[in-house]
Structures are given as structure tokens and as C-alpha cells.
Amino acid sequence: MTTLTATEPDINEIHAARLNHLQALEAESITILREAVAEFARPVMLYSIGKDSSVMLRLAQKAFYPGKIPFPLLHVDTSYKFPEMITFRDEYTREIGAKLLVHRNEEAIAAGASPYKLGTQNCCGLLKTRSLLDALEEGGFDAAFGGARRDEEKSRAKERVYSFRDAAGQWDPKNQRPELWSLYNSRLRKGESIRVFPLSNWTELDVWLYLYAEKIPIVPLYFAKTRPIVMRGGAMTLVHEGMQLFPGEKVEQIKVRMRSLGCLPCTGAMRSEADTLPKIIEELITFRRSERENRAIDHDEEGSMEVKKREGYF
Amino acid sequence: MSTSVTTATEESGVTRTFEAFLEAHLEQEMLRFTTAGSVDDGKSTLIGRLLHDTKSVYEDQLAAVQKSRVNRAANGHVDFSLLTDGLKAEREQGITIDVAYRYFSTARRKFIIADTPGHEQYTRNMATGASTADVAIILIDAKAFAKAGGLLPQSRRHTYIASLLGIPHVVAAVNKMDIVDYSEASFTAIRREFEALCAQLGLEGVEMIPVSALEGDNVVTPSARMPWYSGPTLLEYLETVPLARAETAGPMRFPVQLVLRPDANFRGFAGQVARGTLRAGDRVMALPSRRESTVRRIVTYDGDLAAASYPQSVTVELADEIDLSRGEMLVEANSDAAALPDVSNRFRAMVVWMHEEPLVVGRTYIAKHTTRTVRATVRKIDYRVDVNSLEHGPSDAIAMNEIAEVEFETNLPLFFDSYKACRWTGSLILIDALSNATVGAAMIVAPIADTSTGETRRPALVLLPGRADLAERVQDALGSCGERAVVIDDALIPDSAVTAVVRALDLAGVIAISSRKLTAEALAAIESFAPRAVRVEDGTDDEAILNSLTEQR
Ligand SMILES: Nc1nc2c(ncn2[C@@H]2O[C@H](COP(=O)(O)OP(=O)(O)OP(=O)(O)O)[C@@H](O)[C@H]2O)c(=O)[nH]1
Ligand SMILES: [Mg+2]
């Protein structure tokens, strides 16, 4: 039985009882996940197979334990994903008993959409953004969880935890709903939706520390290994089956890892010796370059991520 | 979650220093801070400088800033504000429009920064960034102070909002000291006026630091150009300010977010501890039912816990099957009345209004408080605060960015504490029922004793005997003034079920409309749970009926 004590609280005890920053972030993320499940009619989780998705998935397991994750996972497959990603996706989601939906813009894929033919902007527009908006509409989803973090990019740094999208799926960065305390506004009219970002306040380092502390499995491409590489557009591109080499391109064997996982043609590898999580973390803290640097899509032009996000990109 | 680092040793070749790093990082605590102040005081520049001097900016990001076509910094300096002003419109207009969240950590702490806009038009975004802060850095532009002969209105407004939001620590950074020749006299003049403002607002322990965001003085590195100042740099202050939050102690509050029922054997109440500590074996009481039970288990994915404290997210299993759902609350049983939250549907609160369309008396808004969503009607505006003089004046509408004390009445009772006593159970947001915009933020001051005798409450049932033709129009009229109302003349609802249907709708905050002719017994049954809440309209003037129903709404 608890009764109120009239004595002053002991400051040292309070201090000792404080959560460390990962526990505090975890508690916040779980609250966000539960709140969205309580208030939205049909939530879905965007599952990109990357490290952030892996963290988000573990947080979802925690939020609804001992129950199962009460919403499906949606993977938007551009057909350019690394084969290791697809294998990992299918095995891991089966293992944890999650429901997986895969959506592809088959029409554009059949028409041969590629970054070489269309440029990265248009390719992403068709295979990611369009495909995602179609998938959300077909599924009738009113909320979609995404693993984006605010430390990734300067327009993401501006986004709310609950990011409102109009009926066309678009973000209006100049007119976002105020978001105070942890009181999230989930009210929508027909056709509108909300992107929910439970990892908003996590940094790249937090994600790696958490993967390590929680022993969460990730796609092997994150670990350094000697792999076949060609230099293309200034980036190290992984050579894969069926890839056409341009004249003058030469395949080299280099020890590399991927810092973030996107599509094969547009995600550059980086030289690294880090083949374990602690080594990756060690490498990260001595690093002076941001993780999205190796992705072609972000620097098409200044503010290109903001443009993509306005149009409905995650 | 487990934070053991013993597994670090299983990787051979990883150095001891790294283990120490990992251990330190896993145990780091988190501090959230926000910037505030008038437009162009240098908030974004200061944050950029802080990030740069703590080596938290990636090379490619810095290179992009150096390359940028825009540069508003003087003397060939890098324009650090571009590190946080991430929207195109912000770079074009040279102002911050919405909060930017940035992150960095030092050996001591992990920091979450909310860099907020100073422009009055975007006060709502300042409030967004400040609502979760442990520390507010109020910037004061030394040059602008000298020019205006005092603090700018926006500096006062933001300091006032910081005090209203109960941000535990406030520090003033007196910026642009480079323009005033690093003079002590300029700093002292500002200090006098700012300290007077803090005294007026009841802000205690306010530290003041002279800085130059542009040149970097006293941000991370102590300044050699201001020998007269011997206090901490801004970073030292942020690394050492004590972090005890009031919510860690005090009577326990556990708002229920979700009921988890994975199978027939388990029924758990998921939520985040909003204050105090919940222990397995504790006697607890559910609100509003006031039924008691014992905490059987505190369940998490990582195993059962003996206790959970603010702000942990857990799932509680009780020993008894008691009625409890989302929007309700667990508190300690057997505690004296003073330790219980107020349970009331009338309270007064300080409101920061955030929408172009003003708050007006009589309007009903949707209010979200903890995990509970209700309808809240503005009964009275007690006073509006003049942010310059801090004086109270009368008003019957509150315009955007204004602050006022307002009396609300909700359709269902809330379980709350004053905002001063507990941020989580004392705060609510107001949402417009038609546009769904978040229009206001409210901080509860105190409950209002129920003096509602004779006053009208929202009807539970509007009865229009024999007037099926009028029912739809009444429904539309009530809808247009923000009420939810529904006609219950459906043939599948027998007269015998009407009492139950009205009860269910009333609990959900919906007005029932019917053209049935009900028996006196049925009306008495409804009156028993909703006194004075049945309106019988049997007049012949339809317009008069519609007007009388909508005029108090
Ligand atoms: N000389 C001098 N100029 C400064 C200093 N700090 C900022 N500035 C300049 O002041 C102007 C405004 O700086 P910002 O950082 O954008 O101001 P802000 O407070 O973030 O403005 P809003 O976010 O729009 O309210 C820019 O031209 C800066 O270069 C300083 O310490 N000294
Ligand atoms: Mg700014």
C-alpha cells in the first residue's frame, strides 16, 4: 500500500532514478506508437528494411507486448533493392510474426523506369513516392509510421512527430499544426492522413547504440566486407547480378559497408573496416560526414529533400 | 531496456577506451532546451555556433552552408543560422518560420535543441518547441536593446510564455556583444531590466551570459574580450544545470492509453507514468469509477518490473476485473484527498491562442487532455494579459498569440492537477471541431467549484414530439455550432432502448434528437443520469426552436 509521505523528496535519489537517454527515447517512442494505434482507424508501418526500421519494429514489439504488433508492415519495393535486403525482410518479418505487405509500381517498373533513364528525381517520384501514395490509398490507411529521424536532413529537422498530409499526400512545411507536450492531434477529414515518426528525436548514434544494447539483427550490408565495386558518378556503387557496366568502368574488390540502405544504383558504399557493431559505433564517432551524403537523391539541388517531402515522399 | 555493456568485451580488438565511451554514452542523461527571443536576435546563429564549436556539424553540411548563395553574417563569417534554417522559405526570407530540432552530445549529456522562431506571427511554433524543454535560452540583442531603450515586446512575450510553460530553468544570453564593444555597461543595463521582468514573473535562479554568437565568445569557449565576466560559458551552463524534474516525485498518475488483450488470459493497461512511481503490489484506484484494485504485475517486453517511474512506458495488470479503459486514470488508493487529482468538468486555465480565428465565449472546442478527448466550452474569459505591462484586462475574444485566463466546461469530467503541480496532467490542447486545426494550448490553474444550479448544460436529448420533419434541421443547426448531434428515430431502436441509447450518446458527448413521444417513466430515467438535460420542444415556431437551441451554444 502506498501512502503519501510529507517529507521532501531526496534530490540525489531523484537524480539516480532518471532514465538514461536511450531509455527516455524508448519511452517516448512507445507512447507515440500506442497513441497512434489508439486513435487512428487503420495505421500501417512503413518498413524500409534499414537500421531505423529495425529499431522502430523492436519498439513496436515492446509497445504492444505481450500482444502482437497490431498493424501491418508495408514495404515499397522499387525493384532496385539489394537482394540481401529482400532476404532479410522475408526472414525477419516471418520470425517475429509480423504481417508484411509489399507494394511495387508494376506499371512503371515494366516500362523500365530507372535513375539512368529518368534521373534520380523522377525515378524516386515514380517508384517510391507514387508507389507509396498508391499503396496508402489502396489500403485505406489513415496513418503511416515512418522511421525518419530529424537529425538526418535539414528539412526533416523541421517536421512534427505527427506530420499532417492533405488529401493529395502533400506536406505543407509553412503551415504545420502546433504540437505541444506529448498531446498529438490525430483528427482528420476524409482522404487526409498523418505520417507518424516515432524516432523523431533519435540520432544516428542513438540508433546504433540501441541496436547494440538490444541485440537487434540488421541486414549484413551494414557490416564491412570485401565486395565488388565500380566508381560511378563519384560514388562507390556495389556491383550486382544483371548490372550493366558503362564503357570504361572497372570492377574492383574493396572492403566496404553501407551506411544507409536505399536502392542499388543510388546508394554509395563507403570504405570501412567496421565489421561489428562496436566497430561501426567507433567509426561513427570519428566520422565527420553525414550519413545521407552517400545517397544521390538528396543533393540533386539545394532543398531537394524538402521538395520531395512536400510531394509526399517519406 | 537493458543497458548492460558487458557484451562489449566479446568483440576482441575493441579497445578499452571505446568500452569506456560506450558505457558513458549508454548512461548519458538527456537535456532538452529551446531558444526564445525576438526576431533577428541571433538564436539560429547561436545554435549553429554551438553545434560548430562542439564539433557536431558534419563536414559536408558545413561545406553546403559555406557554398550557399545566402549569407547574412557580417565580416566574412560563415552564416551559422543556415545550419538550422532548413526550409527554402526560411533561407529566402532570412527568418526562422518553424522549430528546427537539432541534436548533439558532449561527454556529459545528450542535448535536444529546439530552435524556435522569434517572429510574432509564429509564436505557436515557439510554444511547440518550448513545451517540452528543460531549459529555455532567452536571447537578447544588445544592440537592439540600446536602440529601443529597453527589452523588445517579443522578448517579454517569450519570457512570459517560458514562465507559463513552467520551463524549469531560464538562462538569458545577451547576444551581439561584439557590436557593443564587449562593454560591461551595456550588459549591466540589460541585466537590470531583465532581472526586474523575472522578478515580476516569479522566475528564479535566472543566469545571464554575455555572448557573441557570430564570434563565438562565451558560447563554448570562454571570452578573453570580456574579462569582467567570470560566470560559465553557455555550454558549461547546459552541461551542469541540475536536471531534477518535479514529475519524478509526487503522487502517482497513470493515464491509460490502451487496453491490451492479446488473449483471454491477459488484460493489461498500457500507458506512460505521468508522475511518481507505480509499484507491483500497490493498491490503486481507477478514475472515474473510483473502483480499487491491486497492481498484480508491471509488464514489459524486457521482463516484469518491480516499479515504474515517470516517464516510463509500461503495461499494468490488475488483480481484479475492474472497469477501466483509454482516457481513464490509475492513481494511488487510500491516499488523502490532497494527493488525488481534481475530478471536475469545470476549470480555469491559462490559454495561449494560436489561430487566426479568435477564441470566443460560448464556442465549443475539442480538448485533448492526457489520453482523454472531450468537448470543452468556453464559459468565460477571466482576463487577458498585456504582454508588455503584464497587466490583466477584460476581453470577450482572444486573438492569435494572445494569452488569457479562461473558464472551461467539458462534457465529461477530466482528472487533472494544476499545470504547476504536474505538466502532464495539467496541460491540454484545443482543437477546432470543423477544421481540426490545433488552435490553443491550455495550462490548468484550478478547478471551479460546481455552481451550475440553474445553468444550462449541453442537452442529452432534444425531444420534438411528432416532428420528424424538424429533426434533421435541428441536427444541422447543432452541427453548425460545433456540437455533435444525431437523430435516433431509426426503426431498429425500439422505444424501450431509447434510455440506453441516450445514455451511450451522452457519454460520447453526442446530443440525441428524437421525434418520438416518450413516456414519463422514460423521461425520468434519462433525467436520473442527466439532470436538466432533456429539452422538450413542442412549440409551433420552428425558427424560434432552432434559435433557442443554438443561441447558448
Ligand atoms: N554582429 C553580430 N551579428 C549577429 C550575431 N548573432 C547573430 N547575428 C546576425 O543577426 C542576424 C539574425 O540572426 P539569426 O540567427 O537568423 O536570428 P534569429 O534570432 O534566429 O531570427 P529568427 O529566428 O527569425 O527570429 C544575422 O544577420 C546574423 O548574422 C552576433 O553575435 N554578432
Ligand atoms: Mg532563427
The pTM of the full predicted model, rounded to 2 decimals, is 0.83
CB contact under 8 A, B251 and A281: no
- Rounded to whole angstroms, the Cα distance separating B535 from B553 reads 14
Alpha helices in B205-319 (DSSP H): 234-240
Span B142-158, average pLDDT: 95
CATH code 3.40.50.10490 for A18-206+306-311: no
pLDDT of residue B222: 97
State which ligand 1 atom lies nearest to the alpha carbon of B116: 23
Q: What's the pLDDT tens digit per position in A19-59? A: 788 999 999 999 999 999 999 999 999 999 999 999 999 99
pLDDT of residue A15: 43
pLDDT of residue B303: 96
- Rounded to whole angstroms, the Cα distance separating B88 from B520 reads 66
Span B487-491, average pLDDT: 91
Task: Round the average pLDDT of chain B to a whole number and report it.
Answer: 90
Mutate to test the interface with B, among A14, A183, A186, A270 (most CBs of B within 10 A): A183
Look at B71 and B112; give whichever has higher pLDDT. Answer: B112
Span A234-244, average pLDDT: 84
Closest chain A residue by Cα to residue B101: A157
Least trusted range by pLDDT, from A166-170, A211-215, A269-273, B301-305 = A166-170
Contact A308, A302 (CB under 8 A): no
B146-154's contacts with Cβ under 8 Å and 24+ in sequence apart are B146/B180, B146/B186, B146/B189, B150/B193, B151/B190, B151/B193, B151/B194, B151/B197, B152/B38, B153/B38, B153/B387, B153/B388, B154/B37, B154/B38, B154/B39, B154/B118, B154/B120
The phi and psi torsions of B58 (rounded to 5 degrees) equal -70, 150
* Four-way CATH pick for B342-447: 3.30.110.30, 2.40.30.10, 3.90.1150.10, 2.40.50.140: 2.40.30.10
State which ligand 1 atom lies nearest to the alpha carbon of B177: 31
Distance B214 CA to ligand 1 centre (A): 8
- Rounded to whole angstroms, the Cα distance separating B37 from B218 reads 18
Which burial class, exposed, middle or buried, applies to A117 when counting CB atoms under 10 A from its CB (0-12, 13-18, 19+)?
exposed
User: For residue B448, which of B403, B482, B418, B483 has the smallest C-alpha distance?
Assistant: B418
- Rounded to whole angstroms, the Cα distance separating B81 from B65 reads 9
Contact B113, B33 (CB under 8 A): yes
Span B254-268, average pLDDT: 95
**Domain boundaries, given as residue ranges, for chain A:** 18-206+306-311, 219-298
Pick left, alpha or beta for residue A238 (phi over 0 → left; psi -120 to 50 → alpha; otherwise beta): beta
- Label residue B518 by pLDDT band (50, 70, 90): confident
Task: Round the average pLDDT of chain A to a whole number and report it.
Answer: 86
Cell representation of residue B392? 490583466
Span B262-277, average pLDDT: 95
**Which residue owns the Cα nearest ligand 1 atom 14?**
B42
Chain B partners of A22 at a C-beta cutoff of 8 Å? 1, 3, 26
| Contacts with B369 (C-beta within 8 Å, 6 or more apart), sequence order | A183, B414, B416, B425, B427, B428
CB contact under 8 A, A183 and B88: no
CB contact under 8 A, B300 and A62: yes
Distance A289 CA to ligand 1 centre (A): 26
pLDDT of residue B67: 83
Closest chain B residue by Cα to residue A172: B87
Closest chain B residue by Cα to residue A60: B301
User: For residue A184, which of B163, B481, B272, B346 has the smallest C-alpha distance?
Assistant: B272
CA distances to A4, A19, B29, B441 from B424, in Å: 20, 17, 20, 13
Cell representation of residue A166? 492533405
CA distances to A171, B244, B314, B540 from A15, in Å: 40, 6, 21, 69
Span B158-187, average pLDDT: 96
H or E stretch at A123: helix A115-124
CB contact under 8 A, A150 and B61: no
H or E stretch at A284: helix A277-286
Least trusted range by pLDDT, from A32-46, A147-161, A238-252 = A238-252
Chain A partners of B326 at a C-beta cutoff of 8 Å? 38
**Domain boundaries, given as residue ranges, for chain B:** 18-240, 253-339, 342-447, 461-551
Q: What's the pLDDT tens digit per position in B14-36? A: 455 677 777 777 788 899 999 99
* Domains B342-447 and B461-551 are alike in CATH topology: no
CB contact under 8 A, B312 and A61: no
H or E stretch at B351: strand B342-353
Distance B94 CA to ligand 1 centre (A): 9
pLDDT of residue A9: 44
Question: Which residue type, as a one-letter code, is found at position B186?
Answer: S
Cell representation of residue B164? 507559463
Closest chain A residue by Cα to residue B433: A187
* Four-way CATH pick for B461-551: 3.40.50.11230, 3.40.50.720, 1.10.10.10, 1.10.287.1060: 3.40.50.11230
Beta-bridge partners for B29? B109
**Whether pLDDT at B423 is above 70:** yes
- Rounded to whole angstroms, the Cα distance separating B148 from A47 reads 54
Query: What is the β-pairing status of strands A143-145 and A43-46?
Result: parallel
Q: Which CATH class is domain B253-339?
A: mainly beta
**Which residue owns the Cα nearest ligand 1 atom 32?**
B176
Report whether residue B40 contacts ligand 1, using a CB cutoff of 6 Å.
Answer: yes
Contact B376, B364 (CB under 8 A): yes
**Whether pLDDT at A294 is above 70:** no
- Rounded to whole angstroms, the Cα distance separating B466 from B517 reads 7
Q: Residue A246, CB half-sphere, CA atoms under 13 Å: how many?
A: 7
Chain B partners of A206 at a C-beta cutoff of 8 Å? 110
Query: What is the β-pairing status of strands B277-279 and B342-353?
Result: unpaired
State which ligand 1 atom lies nearest to the alpha carbon of B48: 15
- Rounded to whole angstroms, the Cα distance separating B284 from B552 reads 40
The phi and psi torsions of B495 (rounded to 5 degrees) equal -55, -35
Counting one residue from chain A and one from chain B, the pairs whose CB atoms sit within 8 A come to 243
| Contacts with B396 (C-beta within 8 Å, 6 or more apart), sequence order | B360, B361, B381
| Contacts with A25 (C-beta within 8 Å, 6 or more apart), sequence order | A201, A202, A206, A210, B30
Cell representation of residue B293? 484494485
Distance A17 CA to ligand 1 centre (A): 39
Chain B partners of A270 at a C-beta cutoff of 8 Å? none
pLDDT of residue A304: 66
pLDDT of residue A178: 95
Question: Which residue type, as a one-letter code, is found at position A85?
Answer: M
Distance B45 CA to ligand 1 centre (A): 5
Chain A partners of B128 at a C-beta cutoff of 8 Å? 160, 178-180
- Which candidate from A64, A182, A290 shows the least CB-CB separation from B61? A290
CB contact under 8 A, B257 and A17: no
Strands (DSSP E) found in chain A: 43-46, 73-76, 100-103, 143-145, 162-165, 193-196, 225-232, 235-238, 252-257, 270-271
Chain A partners of B25 at a C-beta cutoff of 8 Å? 205, 209
pLDDT of residue B454: 42
pLDDT of residue B9: 37
Q: What's the pLDDT tens digit per position in B80-131? A: 998 888 888 898 888 999 999 999 988 889 999 999 999 988 999 999 999 9
- Which candidate from A38, A67, A213 shows the least CB-CB separation from B1? A213
* Four-way CATH pick for B18-240: 2.40.110.10, 3.40.190.10, 3.40.50.300, 3.40.50.720: 3.40.50.300
User: For residue B156, which of B185, B196, B187, B100 has the smallest C-alpha distance?
Assistant: B196
Pocket mutation for ligand 1, best pick of B39, B45, B152 (most atoms within 8 Å of C-beta): B45
- Which candidate from A176, A187, A203 shows the least CB-CB separation from B431? A187
